[in-house]
Structure formats: structure tokens, C-alpha cells
Amino acid sequence: MRALSKFVFTTLALCFLLSSGISTAENISDVEKNLSQQKSDIAKLKKKLSKLKVEQNKQNKALQATSRKVSNARKQLQKTQKSLSSTQNKLSQLREQNREITRELNKSKQDIQTLLIAVYKNQDNNQLKLLLSEESPQKLSRLLKYHQYLQQEQLDKIQVHLKTLEKFKQNEQALTAELVNLQSLKKAQQQEQDDLSNAKKLQQQQLAELKRSVTTESKRLEKKQKDQQRLNKLLSDMKKALEDINALGGSRPFKSDKGKMPWPVKGRIMRSFGSALAGGKLKSNGILIGAPSGRAVKAIHSGRIVFADWFSGFGLLTIIDHGDGYMSLYGQAESVVREPGEWINRGDVIAYAGNTSDTDIEGIYFEIRKQGTPINPKRWCTGRP
């Protein structure tokens, strides 16, 4: 068989110890103490599981809060991005208007420059022509005034353009500042969203780990409760057996047949008594005899069946009490054919070999115990299996 878990191994060893001395009330008391310990372990597991579930609930709430923060941060980021796009569009429009006004300003400057040059070049000749002309002084005055108006109109246009450009420049500066602020805000909001997303991911990982822990502890609790049920059944069987176990006194003493008993099944020894298990951490308390599934397994001595059921790590297990503190057990059976409380004789079929434990070898696992202590079956059984 493969290595048993520490708990199953300890529990089963205790059951064997108790079963071996089934004629004493002290062993029943020991089983009851073990049951009490099981109850204590179950209570501790329930407490631990309760704490894990409370922590899981807290993590769920924290994850919900972080998820809402991530959602709000995303909304704020989208809002800032929308404002940023709007500001960029306004700035683009303003710059286009700025370019248009600049073109008009340049044209007005060019027009007035052309006019001034023309006036300068022709000023003396024009005035002289006007003075020598036959025109009246009133008409002369109007013409001079007209030239002044043309010049003033161009100058006024230039002033308007300059003021417009100054206003656009101020607006552009304001929009540029707003754009810089929005870009900074977007960067900060993006960082906040990234931080919250990372926090959310971490919380999800922690919550997943908590869920795995809850599942693991729930399975442990379920196993402990099943172990407790098995111990309850064993205790009940032991108490029932105490009523007439003394009847064994009429049969041949177990120890008188030392070295003369038959092996429980014909086969080949696949694992010897005391061989290393679990990388040397444990030793085998019995012998594994390889045999085809379905081969009959027989009692090595008369006695009473005290256990015949599935037991974790041993598959279908039969335990026979032979009196005087001696017992034999037969594990990993394909099937058991006796019930607890039945009296059997040497050579009676009690089970059939199989592979119901956690080993991959067909056969039977065989132990002999004295006062709960494993002893080498080779010293009690004759020849080879």
C-alpha cells in the first residue's frame, strides 16, 4: 500500500490497539477519548472555516468597493478625455481664425503701404496739379480730404485686426493652459485607474485563494466528520462485542499455535513486515500478499469478527479478535463475507482478495497484532503463502 496520511494512519492504528483488547472496558474508554478529540478537532475546523468565510465576505465587499472605484475612475477619465478633445478642437479653430486674421492684417498692411508709397511719390505733383488746375478751392479741399479718409480707413482696419489678434492670442494662451491642465489630469486619472485595476486584480487573487482554502477546509471538516462516524460505529461494535467476548475462552489459545497457522491466502509476498513506506518516514505494519482478485481469504485462527467494512487507506477491511489481546486483520479485499459479531473457525472464508486500497497490487494486506502492537506474521504462520 502507499503511504497513509498521518491522520488516517494514527486513527487506524488506534482502532487496532483498541480492538485488540476488546475484552477490557479501558479500551472503550480510550475510544471515547479519541471521539472526544475528534469532536475537538471538528470544533476547531469549524471555527477556522467560520473565520475564513468571514474573511472571504470582507474580501468580497472590498472587491466590490474597488470595482466601483475602477468604474468611477474610468468615467472620470472618459469625461476628461472628452474635455481634452473639445479643447483641442477649440484651439484648432482659434488657430485657424488667427491665421485668417493674420492674412487680412497682412493684406491691409500691404494696401496701406502701397497707398502711402503712391501718395508719397505723387504728393507734390498732385498738389501742384491741383493748385494749377481750374478746379475751385472747394473741390480741391474735398480731394485732399478724400485722400486722408482713405489713409485713415486703412489705419482703422489695421487697428481692428491688431486688437482681434491680441484677443485671439490671449484666448490661445488660455486654451493652451487648459490643455496642459487637462493632459496632466488625464495622466493622473490614468495612473489612478491603473493602480485601482492592479489592486482589483490582487484582491481577486486573494479572494480566489480564500475560496480554495474554504474548499480545502470544508473537505477536511467533511473527512473528520466521517472519521468520527466510523469511530462511533467501531465503539458501538466494541460495546456490543463485550457482551459475549468471553465465549472465546473455550477455543484453543491463539499463542499456542504460534508458527503453525496457515497463511490467509495463497500468493507471493510483495511487501514484507517492516519495509519502508513514504520514503522511509513510515514502516509497514504487515505483509502485502499478491494474489488474483477473487481468491478466497481464510481466517488463520478461530475468533470473532469485530470489524468488516471499508476503512480509508485499507479498502475493505476485516478484523478478527482471537482473545488474549491477539487480533488479525485482512485489508484491500475485493469483498467481505462476514459481519461484525460473527464467530468463525480457522480456515473459514472471510473475504476475497482484491485491490480496493490505494495500492496497485492485487491481493490482500495481512497483519497480526498483540495488545495493539504489530508483530511479524512470518513468526506465526508456517511456510510460505
136-170 per-position pLDDT tens digit: 566 656 666 666 676 677 677 777 777 777 877 78
More confident residue, 290 or 194: 290
Please state the rounded mean pLDDT for residues 8-21: 41
Per-residue pLDDT band at 7 (split at 50, 70, 90): very low
DSSP secondary structure string for all residues of 313-358:
TTEEEEEEEEETTEEEEEEEESEE---TT-EE-TT-EEEE-B--SS
Distances (CA, A) of 217 to 36, 114, 209, 327: 20, 97, 12, 35
Say if residue 252's pLDDT is above 80. yes
Alpha helices by DSSP H, listed for 242-265, are none
Q: Which residues of 246-270 are buried (b: 16+ CB within 10 A; e: fewer)?
A: eebeebeebeebeeebbbbbebebb
321 phi/psi in degrees, rounded to 5: -95, 125
315-374 per-position pLDDT tens digit: 899 999 999 999 999 999 999 999 999 999 999 999 999 988 777 889 999 999 999 899
Q: Which residues of 309-320 are buried (b: 16+ CB within 10 A; e: fewer)?
A: eebbbbbbbbbb
350-361 per-position pLDDT tens digit: 999 998 877 788
- For the chain, the domains span 58-213, 247-379
pLDDT, the chain, mean: 79
Please state the rounded mean pLDDT for residues 1-25: 40
Topology of domain 58-213, per CATH? Helix Hairpins (1.10.287)
**Residue-level pLDDT at 147:** 62
What whole-number distance in Å separates Cα of residue 54 and Cα of residue 51?
Answer: 5
Please state the rounded mean pLDDT for residues 36-62: 84
Say if residue 12's pLDDT is above 60. no
What whole-number distance in Å separates Cα of residue 29 and Cα of residue 363?
Answer: 35
Please state the rounded mean pLDDT for residues 116-134: 55
**Residue-level pLDDT at 5:** 38
**Residue-level pLDDT at 333:** 94
Please state the rounded mean pLDDT for residues 101-113: 72
* Residue written as grid cell 480496493: 356
Query: Among candidates 183, 190, 187, which has minimal Cα distance to 84?
Result: 183
* Residue written as grid cell 478751392: 137
**Residue-level pLDDT at 200:** 80
Say if residue 72's pLDDT is above 80. yes
Per-residue pLDDT band at 235 (split at 50, 70, 90): low
> Which residues is 298 bridged to in the sheet?
349
**Residue-level pLDDT at 13:** 42
**With contact defined as beta carbons under 8 Å apart, do 41 and 228 qualify?**
no
More confident residue, 93 or 377: 377
**Residue-level pLDDT at 360:** 81
**Residue-level pLDDT at 60:** 83
More confident residue, 122 or 76: 76
> Which residues is 368 bridged to in the sheet?
328, 375
Least confident of 58-72, 94-108, 251-265: 94-108
**Residue-level pLDDT at 42:** 86
Per-residue pLDDT band at 231 (split at 50, 70, 90): low
**Residue-level pLDDT at 183:** 87
pLDDT > 70 fraction of the chain, expressed in percent and rounded: 75
Distances (CA, A) of 186 to 85, 137, 321: 12, 73, 82
Give the single-character DSSP code of 83: H
Per-residue pLDDT band at 251 (split at 50, 70, 90): low
Q: Which CATH number fits domain 247-379: 3.40.50.720, 3.40.50.2030, 2.70.70.10, 2.40.160.100?
A: 2.70.70.10
**Residue-level pLDDT at 66:** 84
Torsion over CA: 20, 25, 26, 31 (sign): positive
At 135, the amino acid letter reads: E
Say if residue 130's pLDDT is above 90. no
Say if residue 1's pLDDT is above 60. no
Most confident of 15-29, 130-144, 220-234: 220-234
Please state the rounded mean pLDDT for residues 59-80: 83
Most confident of 39-53, 56-70, 290-304: 290-304
Say if residue 22's pLDDT is above 90. no
HSE (side-chain half, CA atoms, 13 Å) at 68: 5
Per-residue pLDDT band at 211 (split at 50, 70, 90): confident
